[in-house]
A and B are shown apart, each in its own frame.
Chain A
Amino acid sequence: MKQNEKLEVLNIDTSLYKTRISKKFRNRKPYEAADPHMIISFISGTVLDIIVKPGQIVKQGDDLMILDSMKMQNQLKCSIDGKIKNIPVKKGDKVSKGTVLLELE
């Protein structure tokens, strides 16, 4: 422990402790609840086919899109009933993990 080292404060059960903070703790992502209206790419890959069109009414379990990834054609199915609002990707696009593929109303 260095002399006069500048320490930070960590709150554990409302007690405040002077200590060093780890990189991992500092860089942790704040939690955000998933929005079922946003269909997000769960893995990087290529959009092989888009089965639905904007404005189309879809039901839970309907096929939306095929994402080619890890040598597999992954079928993306609709998680809720709704209407297609927007499809920000097009056939052939390479997408990374976390990309919005489709928005539902």
Chain B
Amino acid sequence: MAINKKIKELQEKREQMFRGGGEKAIEKQKALGKRTARERIMALLDENSFNEYDLFAEHEARDFDMDKKSLPTDGVIIGSGTIYGAPVAVFAQDFTVAGGSLGLMHSRKITKIMDHALKMRMPLIGINDSGGARIQEGVNSLAGYGEIFFRNTISSGVIPQISVILGPCAGGAVYSPALTDFVFVVDNISKMFITGPEVIKTVLGEEISMEDLGGAQVHSEITGNAHFFATSEEECFDQIKKLITFIPWNNSLKAKPFEQGEPNPEFNINKIVPEDPTLPYDVKDVIRAIVDFSDFFEIMELYAKNIVIGFGRMGGRTIGFVANQPLEMAGVLDVDSSDKAARFIRYCDAFNIPIITLVDLPGYLPGVDQEHAGVIRHGAKVLYAYSEATVPKLTVIIRKAYGGGYIAMGSRHLRADFVFAWPSAEIAVMGPEGAANIIFRKEIMSSDDPDGMRKQKIDEYKAKFANPYVAASRGYVDAVIEPSETRRLLLHSLAVSENKSIQMPDKKHGLPPF
């Protein structure tokens, strides 16, 4: 039958396209420890769930002998599929085809799947592995990037957007990942920068390797551009799949509820926090003592470790956690930790995820570098993000909540719905040492024994103000609770917040300090 012949022809055409840039190019890709674009999509999505579009796309470039060249799929694979049954739209740049370079058709394929994802209100995952603009296509390449950035921006806060950097992502191309919600990187494979080592050497005379300039570790630890760090592509895909289970498909939905379960009893909430407020502990253990199955999925684990952010579940529901980390830099707020927390709070708010804040911080980090780096502007982002968030906001003050840090960390004054404090909480305008030095300056200076007097005054201040009861007497704290009551009270608070409704004044948009 004639149709059989036609089907065979289609199969052959497909096979040819599936070979991408050919054997040699694929070998090169593998030698770098990288999978091909097609293998990556298959590894990421549920089995047999991928539907590809525009397999036979061809470029129309004419200059520089491009009319004689055919580029299979034009260097990018697009389509949709599922992850644990959740629908996702995907594009994956194919480095084996002309170095994954972005020309007009390549970009049209990407924008097509972006438009599709936005229209269908489903998450978009972009796998980046590209040498950059296709120089032969000139300004058309630039137009392509611009069209992608525009869509990233318009889709922001409507559908989840995830970027996976599995190769070079250089020049203007970096701005698409930067505009998305979460960026995944893999050690020794991801490279991101605006200007590469060669340009830097030529122009500025500074020598640096690609890895040291914009490798996975750099973006995870120093720049904060990446949110998830993995040591292999496989680990990276596992992280993406796990993230997908925590987030909703779009901003009109809540994340799918999961099986409920008690925390692991090895995390004994009564024993984690030392009584002495100058001694550290790992706040992640407190989170693990509260969340279902003690399963806490941390985000930006290596950046600004003095604040911890991530997802956990309570009663099967996704919760965003923001917690000061006394183990790192005493848990202070500074430029980087403010940026990290503020963006995450806005993410949770955009995607209907309640926020639980755990407070234990001595205040802001002092220093010329901090002031000159704009800690005023960056710190203000936290105030802004908490204030504008309308999702349920629950705050637990574990120990220290001093000064501006108290206000910033999801306080009642920024409209937390529930504020609980442990008996160990110290809610005060500043730490006892600093406060006593100011308030009792005269007494201490004029005393025959200034050190003894200082100690006495510090103790007096501690007894009177370093507790949760002053704040509780004003209603700034709703209840002083035993640590072991925390999970039960949070579950109850979340349950009664299910239909929280808040009317904000009409505006086009606010002006957050960025």
Residues in chain A within 8 A of chain B (CB atoms): 1, 7, 10, 12-25, 28-29, 31, 43-44, 69-70, 94, 96-97
Contacts and interface: CB of A to CB of B under 8 A. Distances in A.
Contacts of A22: 305-306, 328-329
Interface in B248-305: 278-282, 285, 305
Given A15-B434, A44-B204, A96-B206, A20 B362 contact: no
A31 B369 contact: yes
A12 to B, nearest CB: 4
A15 B328 CA distance: 16
A21 B369 CA distance: 16
Nearest to B435: A13
Contact of B330 (A1, A12, A23, A94): A12
B366 A17 contact: no
Interface in B288-342: 305-306, 326-332, 336
Given A31-B369, A44-B203, A20 B434 contact: no
Q: Which of A1, A29, A31 gathers most chain B CB within 10 Å? A: A1
A69 B432 CA distance: 53
25 contacts: A1-B285, A12-B332, A12-B366, A12-B431, A13-B362, A13-B363, A13-B366, A13-B431, A13-B433, A13-B434, A14-B437, A15-B278, A17-B280, A17-B326, A18-B278, A19-B280, A19-B330, A20-B305, A20-B327, A20-B329, A28-B367, A44-B206, A69-B203, A70-B203, A96-B205
B430 interface: yes
Interface in B194-233: 203-206, 221-222
Contact of A96 (B204, B280, B282): B204
B368 interface: yes
Contacts of A17: 278, 280, 326, 330, 362
Contacts of B365: 12, 25
B431 A14 contact: yes
Interface in B85-138: none
Contacts of B363: 12-13
> How many residues of B sit at the interface, in one of the four size bands?
35 or more
Contact of A1 (B327, B331, B336, B434): B327
Contacts of B280: 1, 7, 17-20
Contacts of A70: 203
Interface of B: 203-206, 221-222, 278-282, 285, 305-306, 326-332, 336, 362-363, 365-369, 402, 430-434, 437
B32 to A, nearest CB: 29
Nearest to B364: A12
B398 to A, nearest CB: 15
Contacts of A1: 280-282, 285, 327
A44 B205 contact: yes
B382 to A, nearest CB: 17
A72 B98 CA distance: 34
Given A10-B330, A14-B431, A19-B330, 10 more contacts: A7-B280, A10-B329, A12-B366, A17-B362, A19-B327, A19-B329, A20-B305, A21-B329, A24-B336, A44-B205
- Which 3 A/B pairs are nearest by Cβ-Cβ distance? A13-B434, A17-B330, A44-B204
Contacts of A10: 329-330, 332
Q: Which of A12, A14, A28 gathers most chain B CB within 10 Å? A: A12
Nearest to A20: B328
A97 B206 CA distance: 10
A15 B431 contact: yes
B278 A16 contact: yes
A18 B274 CA distance: 12
Given A7-B280, A28-B367, A31-B369, A15 B433 contact: yes
A23 B303 CA distance: 11
Contacts of A18: 278-280
Contact of B368 (A13, A31, A96, A97): A31
Contacts of B221: 23
Contacts of A96: 204-206
A44 B195 CA distance: 15
Contacts of A43: 204
